[in-house]
Each structure stands twice: as structure tokens, then as C-alpha cells.
Structure 1
Amino acid sequence: MCNDIFSMRGDKITSYVVFILANSCMPTLLKIKPATLVNFQKKYIENTNHFFIVLNKESEQFQCSYEILYEDNRAYFIILYQTKLLRDVLNRFCENDILIRSGYLPGGDNFNKNLINLKKRFQNFKNGNSVEFPHEVGIFLGYPILDVEEFIKNNGENYILCGYWKVYHKAEEAGKTFDQFRKLREDAVKLYFSGRDLKEITSTL
């Protein structure tokens, strides 16, 4: 599979970045979902500077930004997001107990501070400084707030459906969303292997 991925573009890093974005991030690129968590494996990144040049170029085509939440010797853990959509989500739920007790601040002026807080909490978990995973990331990713709340209350158990997230309410509606995301992913990957770039892929979907 990796050789097939790398044969699709002029250089391996471009091939890798485009494939990962097509495979994992279509709902965010298409502004259906505010953000996506994605990791890029360093073993496929021969030149770090070139990697970030390509990632910036491909992301900016879709008005997306990203933040490196964590980096180790194997991978970059990145949140790719649509700024307006993510800002709207955080403003909508700024008074939610999950965000308040986790140190997030209300107001659009605190958007960058809240991203930094998520990064800090993610790093604390990854580095073993906290036993608590920052489950509020589900809010950033656009998961239904009731499902995020119930996931935390139930320690990830007792869900009624599991797909892109664990569902506790409105399983039928969530199932339709899962089907939509799954089809976007499958179609995007097929188009990638037909030689399309990201702009061509998104315009075709």
C-alpha cells in the first residue's frame, strides 16, 4: 500500500500528505466537520521542512489551519481545523462544564488560548503527567455534546453505537453521519488513486 501511495505524486512527502488528508480529513476539508485529529508517521517524512511546506500548502487550499498537539520520535499528532467552524463550536459550548473545569475560556478572543490549553492537556496525557485523556477534544471535533458528556460519565462504556465516536443519543442520526463520512473517505481514496489532487477530489465529491 505504501509504495502505491508514494507512486501517485512527484515526491513521497506530497503523496503521503495528500493521501492522509484524503483518507482522514475530508469532512473537515469540506467544512462538514470543524476539526479532525490526524497523525503523520515520521518514517514517511524524509525532510521535515518540506513536509510542513506541503502540509501548509494543502491545508490552506481549504482555509484550514492546524496545530501540532504532540510530537514524539515516531509521529506528529495534529488537529486540522476550520477556524470559523471551530470558533463557532467553542463559543456555542463555552459555558459547558466540560470546558470550564478543563480550563477553557469563553469568548472568541480566547480561541488561540483554548487551542494552547488543549495542546497542553494532550501533551500532559501523552507524557504521563496526567492520567486523564482530554476527552473535551470531542467537542473540538464536532461530536454531539450529549455524546461527549455521556462518554465521560460512562467512562466510554454503555454506548448504543460505535463509529467515528461512541453514541449515546440519536443512534439513527449518528449512523447516517457515519455512513456519510465513510462514503466520503472511500470515494476520496479512490479518486486519489486515480491521480486526482485534493482540489479535484473535493470538487468531485
Structure 2
Amino acid sequence: MKLFGFTSFDELLAYNCAPVLAGIKPANLLSLMPDDAEEIDALLVQYNAQFAERGIVFRRLCACTKRVLILVYNEEQLAQALRNPGYQAYLIAAGYEAGASAEAYLHRLEQRLNTQKTFPHEIGVFLGYPLEDILGFVLNKGTDCKYSGYWKVYGDVPKARSIFAAYEHFRDIILQKLATGMSLKVAVATL
């Protein structure tokens, strides 16, 4: 499996998904190579079993010739985020059913990822991005942001920088624990 310079899949997950694993973000998206699809499916089974007690799910959203997209999410936090009235209004405007379950929203996102020619911008809702930044991205077609980090910021830059710093803090802690030989499951359990 292509690990993009990381020494293990645990390390790749820690680097890309630490905020979810640490419980401070509802979801992260991981893009992997399509030629690793069978191995990815086996890993998803393994990681879902390891992290089930923490409510963390590893879900393949789509697979195409260019990539396999995995959504790593905290079930409870994602469900809570999707109940936010602002997010709800945005999702309804994007064609999602009003008041649907988190599972129904995820299923609709999968459909859109697999059938649309363009990437659905509402994925920012699932990833916990501020609504003003999602709207700013769409309105400005991804240009003219005030700041760029884990997402393009069009609204509150100081707040975004603080959030980004928290994400990096937990990423660094988990990676340090992995460097000592801990498994990802144990490293996350010790946070």
C-alpha cells in the first residue's frame, strides 16, 4: 500500500485524522490510491473493530480511477453537527432531505460523490468547517480567502488559527506516541 512517505498506516491516519481520533473534530477525509482498494477494505474492517468503542467509524465514501475517499468520523459528533440549523439549511438547499438521520446524509453524500462531475462543497459541513467559510469558498470559487490551513478561511481568522493549532497539537502528540512503538489505538486511548 502506498503510504505517501509514512512508515505505517497508523502513522498516515494519525497525521491526517488526529483531530477526529482526539475527539475535537467530527470528521476527516483521507484520500488513498485506488490500486490499494482491496487492502483498504481489509484495513477498514480492522480499524472499525479497533475504534468501535470510541464511536469512530472508517467509511469508504467513494472509489474511482483516481482515488479512494475514506471518511473517518465520530458518530455522535457528526450527528450533532448535522443537526445544526445552519448546516441543515445548507444541506437542504444542496438537495438533502430535511431532518434526515446522519446515516441518510452520509448515504446522500456518497451518492453525490459517486455521480457528480464536481466535488460537492457540502462535504465541508461533514468535516466541521464553519458555515461562513463553506459559503465563502463557494461564493469565491476557492479564491481570495483570508487564510488557508486545514480549510480556506473566509470568516474568523483568529478562531481558525486557534482550531488549526489544536489540530496540530493532537497530531504531534499522537505521532510522538507512535514513534515510541505504541499502536494508534493505544496512543489515542492515552490522550
TM-score range, shorter chain: 0.7 to 0.9
Where do 4+ consecutive residues of structure 1 move more than 6 Å? none
Q: Residue by residue, what CA displacement relative to the aligned partner does 1:134-185 show, whole Å, maximum 9, x if unpaired?
A: 1111011011111111111111111100000011111011111111112222
Matched residues in 1 for 2:47 and 2:66: separation? 18
Task: Give 2:133's aligned residue.
Answer: 147
What is the TM-score when the length of structure 2 is the normalising length? 0.85
Following TM superposition, by how much is the alpha carbon of 1:36 offset from its aligned partner in structure 2, in angstroms? 0.7
Residue number in structure 2 paired with 1:39:
31
Look at both structures and tell me which one has the larger radius of gyration over its CA atoms: 1
Q: Residue type matched to 2:182 in 1?
A: R
Unaligned residue ranges in structure 2 (runs of 5+) = none
Contact 1:90 1:140 in 2 (8 A): yes
Q: Structure 1-normalised TM-score?
A: 0.80
**Alpha-carbon distance in structure 1 between the residues aligned to 2:47 and 2:139:** 36
* Number of aligned residue pairs: 189
Which range moved further: 68-77 or 80-89?
68-77
Q: Is the 8 A contact 2:44 2:59 kept in 1?
A: no
Tell me, in whole angstroms, the C-alpha distance in 1 between the residues paired with 2:16 and 2:181: 18
**Which residue is equivalent to 1:12?**
none
**What's the counterpart of residue 55 of structure 2?**
63
- Partner residue in 1 for 2:103: 112
What's the secondary structure of 1:100's corresponding residue? helix
CA RMSD of aligned residues (A): 2.6
Give the aligned residue type for 2:179: F
- Seq. identity, %: 29
1:47-80 CA-to-partner distances (Å, cap 9, x unmatched) read: 4664233222233242112321111356421111
For 1:87 and 1:31, the matched residues in 2 are separated by: 14
Q: Which runs of 5+ in 1 are unaligned?
A: 7-14
Give the equivalent residue in structure 2 for 1:11.
none
For residues 150 and 76 of structure 1, what CA distance do their matches in structure 2 show?
A: 27
